[in-house]
Structure 1
Amino acid sequence: MNNTEFDNEIYENLPPLLKGLTGEFKGREKDIVLLSSLGVLSSCLPNVFGEYDGKPVSANLYVMIIAPPASGKGVMNYAKLLIEPIHKRIIENSLSNLEDCQSANKGKKEKEPCPPIVTKVIPGNISAAEIYSIIKNAHYGGLIIESEADTLSAMLNQDWGNFSDVLRKAFHHESISISRKVEKLFMEIREPKLSLVLSGTPDQLMPLIKSKDNGLFSRIVFYFFEEISDWRDVFQNVGFKKQILFEKASMHVYNMYDALVTRENEKIQFALTEDQMCRFNTEMNTIFEIVKNNYSASFTSNVKRHGLVLFRLCMILTLVRADKEELKLAESITCNDEDFDSALFLVKQLLYHANTVLQNINSDGLSEIDNRLLSSLSQTFTRKQALESAKKLTISERSLDEKLVKWRKEKLIIKVSHGKYKLAY
C-alpha cells in the first residue's frame, strides 16, 4: 500500500457515470473527484440497505481530503453539483408546503402546526441543537459538504456546537437524542443517516479530530498528500466545461434518486455474492493481522470500520451502475466482481492514507513523510541526494526545497555550503 495516485486501472472499471466525471481530470485531482463524488453519492441512495454484521446499513460515507493550500483539492466542489438538483427540489417543495400551511392558518384562532423545513444539504456552520432538528428533517438523510474543514471544526470547538458524538453515532445509524429543560426540548432520531465530505489543510485536521482515540478519526475515509499543484492557465475555459459535465451528470443522479424514492416502503436489499463475502473476510482479516502485528494498536479500529466502508463502496458502485428500471423494480441487487474489486482496491489504498494521517497526529509537528525522508538521508548529504530520496516518496522538487528551508529554521539540519547539508542530530 502507498499514498501515490490511484492506478489508472481502477478508472477503467468504474461505472459509466463516475468514469465520465473523472475522465476530465488528471493526477491528484482525479482521485479527489472520485472520492468526493462517492461521498456525495452515498447520500443519494434512499430506500437501499445491506446487511452488515447482522445490522441493516445504508451507503453513507465520511470522506476527508487533506492537502496543503494551492494543491488542487478545491476540485472537490464539483461533486457538490451532483446533489444540487435534488436539494433544490426538496427545499422548494418544503417551502411551498410551509407557505400553504401559513396561508391556511391566516385568520384562525387555533392554528395548525406547520411542517418543518426539509433539506438535503446541511451547512457545516450549525449548532448542536440545530443539527438534531436538521438531521431529523433531512430527506432520506443529509449531506454535510465543506471545502474548508475549519467551518465544521469551529462548531465542534464550541460548547453549544459540539456534535462530535452525533457524527460518531450517525456513521453506524445509532439512535441519537437531545433533551433541553429550559427550551422544553426533547428529540430522538432513530437510524439517522448522514454523509460527510470535507477538504482541508493538515493544520485544520486536529481541531476537527482532536484525538485519534475519540472514534471520529476511525470513521473517516482520508486522502492525504503534500504536493502543491502547478500553475494553470486561468484563461482556459476548462473549468466551465467541467461544471457543465457535472451539471449534466446531476440529472442522472436526480433520476436515480427519484426512482429510489418512489419505492416508499419497498426497499432494495444490496448483497455480495458468496465468493465476494469469502474474499471480503479473507482480505480484511489479512489486513487486520498485518496492522495488529506491525502498526499502532489504535489503528485496528480503522481497519474494522474500513470493512464497513468497503461494503458501502460496493453498494454505491453497484447502485450507480444499475439502470433506472432496475432501481424501480428490483427487490434485491447483487454486487458484480468489477465493482467489488474497485472497492477493495480503494479501501487498501485509503487505509494507507489513514495511517499517514495517524502518524501526523502522533508526531510533534513533524509529519510521517518528513520523518521518512529525514531518516533516509546520510549524516551529510547534498540537495541532489535529498531530491533522489524525495522522488521515491513522491515528493516534488518544489516541496523538497520548502522542507529544506523549514528544517533549517527548525534546526533539524545545518547548511554546510551551497547545496550541502548535515543532520543536526
Structure 2
Amino acid sequence: MSTTHTNGAVPALGRAALAYAERLGWPVLPCEPGGKAPLGPLVPHGLRDATTDPETIRRWWQDRPNANVAVLPPPGILVLDLDEPRLATELLGEYPALRHAPRQQTPRGGCHIVASVPEDLHLPTRAGALPGLDLRGMGRAYVVAAPSRTEQGAYRWIVRPRPGEPPPACPPALLERLGAARRRPERTTPAAGSEDETIPAGRRNATLAAHAGALRRQGLGQEAIEAALLGINARACRPPLDEEEVIRIARSVVRYEPETTVSAILAEVVKNLPRPDDVAACLPPETPPEPPERPQEPRSPEVLPDVRHLLPPPLRAALDDLRTEGERAAFLTAALAVASAALGRVSILYGGREHTPALMTLVVGPAGAGKGGATLAARLLDDIDERLRRASEEARADWERRRREASETGEDPPPEPPMQYVVASESTSEAALTRALADNPDGVLLFSSEADSLTAALRQEWGAFSHLLRKGFHHEPHRRETRSGGLIVCERVVLSLALAGTPAQLDRLIEGGVENGLYSRFLIATIHDPPRWVSQRPRPGDERLRAALEALRGCLTEVWEALRTRDMPLRLDLTPDMWDKLDDAFEDLHGRVVEAAARGQAPDALAAVVKRAALSTVRIAAVLTCIEAPARGVRLDRADRIEAAPEAFEAALTLGLSYARQTLALASRALRETLEADDVVRRALAVLETLPETFETSDYEAAAVAAGVTDRTARRWLERLEAEGLLHSPRRGVYERHERPAAL
C-alpha cells in the first residue's frame, strides 16, 4: 500500500537517493521495502529505469517511503561485492591500495568495495568472479545502498564515497585475476540486472536457477525472487522462458534454507526441473552437490563492537580464528595494551602535554567466560624482551670486567649499565619497579591473567606501588630514595598494564571503588558469556591462529626496531576532522555523566572515566596506526611525523566509547540505565530532526527504519517523544514538532 507524503516532503530514504544522484551523479532506483529486488510498480523495466532526475526520485519515494535505495555506479566505477568479512579482510590485506576506497558493510556481514577501472576495460558484471566475490556497478549492475535495510540489518558506509573524488584504482593484479576468471564462461553467471550480455537458449534455466540460489542465500523470499527472475527473463533471456517456468524455478529454490550453498541449490533445482534441451546443455548431467556447510561455532554475546574490518591485517588475522566473541574481546583488549608497550618512542600531543601510547586495560568476567583470550597476548613482546635482556646481560658482563680492572688499577669504577627489558613481573616490589622504570624510559609492561596476583603485591609493604600505576597514565615524574641504591630518578613514568580477572578480583584490586583514581585509568571490557559448552577439539583454525600470533609478534618487533633507531620520538597527529569527531563524541558522553551525577545517579568521580577514555582512544589510534605502518610502506625510522590512519581512528573511536560505557556501567547501574534511556531519546530526536514540522506516522517510521530500527520501535519512540512534550498530535496519525528543550 503506497503512502503519499503531505507538503511534498521526501522521506529519509528518498533524501539518501537524492544525495547519491545529485552529489555523486549515480543513477538510483527503488527496491522492495526490506528487500533487494527492483520495485516493479515504479520501475517496471528494472535497471533501465534508474535515473538521476530529482523529480522522478522524489515522486518514487513520496509514493513508497519505505522503499530501499539501489544505486547504479556508472561506467568506470566497479563495486566488489564480497560475501563475508573474512574475504574483505583478505582482499584488503592483499591489495592495500583499496583500504581507503569507499566501503559499505552489508546486513549479513559482507562488504561492498568501490574502485575505479578504465571505462574501455571489458569486465562483465557477474556472480562468482572469484570465490565469494561478485562484480557490480560499471553502469550494468545495481547495488543496494545505505541506509537501506533488510531483515538481517542495515547497510552502512564504513568509508563514504566523496563527491568529485574518484575512488582508488582497482589494482592491476586484481583486474588480471578477474580477467582470468572471465575466460571461464562455463563457471560464471551474469549478475541479476546485468545488461552486458544476453542469456541464449541453452543457458536460460540454469542461469535463472543460479540467480535464484544466490538471492535465496541472501535471505529473500519467494515473491522477491519471482519478481527478480521475471525481470531478468524479460530483459536478458532470448527468447524469454514462459512465465510459469520462471515461477517454477523460484518455487523450487525457496524450499531450501537461505544458508544452503548456491551450488547445492542450483544442482538440485536443475535436477528437479523438466529437462528441455537448454537445461541439459547448461550443466553436466550428474553435477554432485557440495557437502552442506558446517554449522557455525556458538556465538557469545557481543562484548565489543566488531571492528575487525578496520584493524591492521596482523591483528585482524589473530582475531578471526578465536572461538568466541568473549575470547576475541579479551584478546583484543589485552593485545592493545601489550602492543602499546613497544611504542615508547611515539609521541602524542594531547592537552598540551606529550604522551606515549601506553594503555591500561582490564578484562572482567566470571570464570570460563573467555578471559583466557587475554593470555594469548602475553607473549607478543617475547622477542623484544629477550633481545633487551640479552643485550643488558652482555653489557653487565663487560661492566663487571671493567669494574674489576678499575679496582686493580685504582681508577674510578665505570657507571653501572641499566637493566633493560619490556615485560616486568606483576609481583615485583615497589623499589624494583621504580628501578625498572628508571632503567627503561620507553616504558615497561605489567601483565597478569589473574588480577589477584597484582593485588597481592600491592597489599604488601614492599609492593605498595599503586601510586606508580596512577603516575604512569600521565607519565608524571617520580623520585625515590633507597637504602642501597641511593636516589632513583624517573623523568617520566611510562607504564602499560594488561590485566584480567573476575568482578571480585576487580573489587579487591581497586579498593575504594570509583573514588580510587586508578579505576578511571583503565579501559574495562566486561565479558558476560552465558554458561555453555564450546568444543575445544583441534581444528584447522588453531594452526592459523598460531601462525597469526607469530606474524603479529614479528610485526611488533619490526615496528619496535624501526622506532628504536630514532634520536627523537615519532610524532603522531590526528586530522582536524578526527579531533572534531573525538570532541563531539566524548563531550556528549561527559555531559550525560555530569547530568547523572547532578541527579545523584552516579558518583562525581565518573566524569574522569570519560576524560581519560578520550586520551586512551587517541592512544589506541596510535597503536593501530603503528601496527599497520609496515604494510602501508610508512618508514617509522625516518618520518618526522605521521597522521593516524582513518581506519585506525574509526576503530579507536568505536572501541574507546565502548570501553568508556562499560567502565561507567560497571560502576553505576543507575547510570547505565540512564545512559540507555538517554540514548533512546537522542536517537528518537535524531530521526525527528530529519522530518518537517508536520508529518505523518509513516514518515517517522520510514526515517527510523533508515536509521536502523524496526517499525515497532519507531512507534514506541513516537510515544516517548509525545510524552516528553516534544510532539503534539492534532489528529490521528499526524504530528507537529515542538521546540526541543535545551537540556536535551
SS of the residue aligned with 1:329?
coil
CA contact (8 A) 2:310 2:650 kept: no
The answer to whether the aligner puts 1:205 opposite 2:511 as a matched pair is: no
The answer to whether the aligner puts 1:179 opposite 2:488 as a matched pair is: no
Matches within 5 A, 1:227-376: 227-228=529-530, 230-236=532-538, 239=542, 241-265=544-568, 267-295=569-597, 296=602, 297-323=604-630, 325-359=634-668
1:62 to 360, 367, 371: 360
Residue in 2 aligned with 1:193?
A: 494
Greater Cα shift, 81-90 or 332-341: 332-341
Q: 1:249-273 CA distances to partner (integer Å, 9 max, x unpaired)?
A: 21111111000111122x2211111
1:47 to 342, 345, 358: 345
Misfit runs of 4+, over 6 Å: none
1:248 Cα deviation after fit: 2.7
The answer to whether the aligner puts 1:102 opposite 2:404 as a matched pair is: no
CA contact (8 A) 1:47 1:264 kept: no
TM-score relative to the length of structure 1: 0.79
Q: Tell me, in whole angstroms, the C-alpha distance in 1 between the residues paired with 2:527 and 2:554.
A: 32
SS of the residue aligned with 1:140?
coil
Structure 1's unaligned 5+ residue stretches are: 363-367, 373-425
TM-score relative to the length of structure 2: 0.46
SS of the residue aligned with 2:311?
coil
Q: Tell me, in whole angstroms, the C-alpha distance in 2 between the residues paired with 1:150 and 1:332.
A: 40
1:352 Cα deviation after fit: 1.9
Matches within 5 A, 1:410-425: none
The answer to whether the aligner puts 1:17 opposite 2:314 as a matched pair is: yes
Q: 1:376-414 CA distances to partner (integer Å, 9 max, x unpaired)?
A: xxxxxxxxxxxxxxxxxxxxxxxxxxxxxxxxxxxxxxx
Q: Tell me, in whole angstroms, the C-alpha distance in 2 between the residues paired with 1:318 and 1:336.
A: 6
Q: Tell me, in whole angstroms, the C-alpha distance in 2 between the residues paired with 1:264 and 1:228.
A: 50
SS of the residue aligned with 2:442?
strand
1:101 Cα deviation after fit: 1.9
1:312 Cα deviation after fit: 0.8
CA contact (8 A) 2:314 2:548 kept: no
Residue in 2 aligned with 1:28?
A: 326
CA contact (8 A) 2:430 2:463 kept: yes
1:234 Cα deviation after fit: 4.0
Greater Cα shift, 70-79 or 220-229: 220-229
Q: Tell me, in whole angstroms, the C-alpha distance in 2 between the residues paired with 1:283 and 1:127.
A: 40
Q: Tell me, in whole angstroms, the C-alpha distance in 1 between the residues paired with 2:549 and 2:637.
A: 24
Letter in 2 for 1:289: G
1:188 Cα deviation after fit: 1.7
1:47 Cα deviation after fit: 1.9
Q: Tell me, in whole angstroms, the C-alpha distance in 2 between the residues paired with 1:63 and 1:6.
A: 14
The structure-2 alpha-carbon separation of the partners of 1:326 and 1:67, relative to structure 1 and needing over 3 Å to count, comes to same
1:7 Cα deviation after fit: 3.1
Q: 1:78-134 CA distances to partner (integer Å, 9 max, x unpaired)?
A: 112211100011011111111122233345335434323211101000111111001
Letter in 1 for 2:431: A
SS of the residue aligned with 2:551?
helix
Matches within 5 A, 1:116-135: 116-135=418-437
1:317 Cα deviation after fit: 1.5
Residue in 2 aligned with 1:162?
A: 464
CA contact (8 A) 1:272 1:335 kept: yes
Q: Tell me, in whole angstroms, the C-alpha distance in 1 between the residues paired with 2:542 and 2:532.
A: 16
Letter in 2 for 1:318: T
1:239 Cα deviation after fit: 4.9
SS of the residue aligned with 1:45?
coil
Residue in 2 aligned with 1:400?
A: none
1:75 Cα deviation after fit: 1.6
Q: Tell me, in whole angstroms, the C-alpha distance in 2 between the residues paired with 1:113 and 1:50.
A: 33
CA contact (8 A) 1:68 1:228 kept: no
Q: Tell me, in whole angstroms, the C-alpha distance in 1 between the residues paired with 2:400 and 2:531.
A: 52
Q: Tell me, in whole angstroms, the C-alpha distance in 2 between the residues paired with 1:106 and 1:304.
A: 53
Matches within 5 A, 1:129-144: 129-138=431-440, 140-144=442-446
**Amino-acid identity (%):** 26
CA contact (8 A) 2:423 2:445 kept: yes
1:231 Cα deviation after fit: 3.4
Letter in 1 for 2:618: F
Residue in 1 aligned with 2:221?
A: none
CA contact (8 A) 1:90 1:139 kept: no
Residue in 1 aligned with 2:92?
A: none
1:208 Cα deviation after fit: 1.2
For CA contacts below 8 A with separation 6 or more, give which structure has more relative contact order: 1
Structure 2's unaligned 5+ residue stretches are: 1-300, 677-744
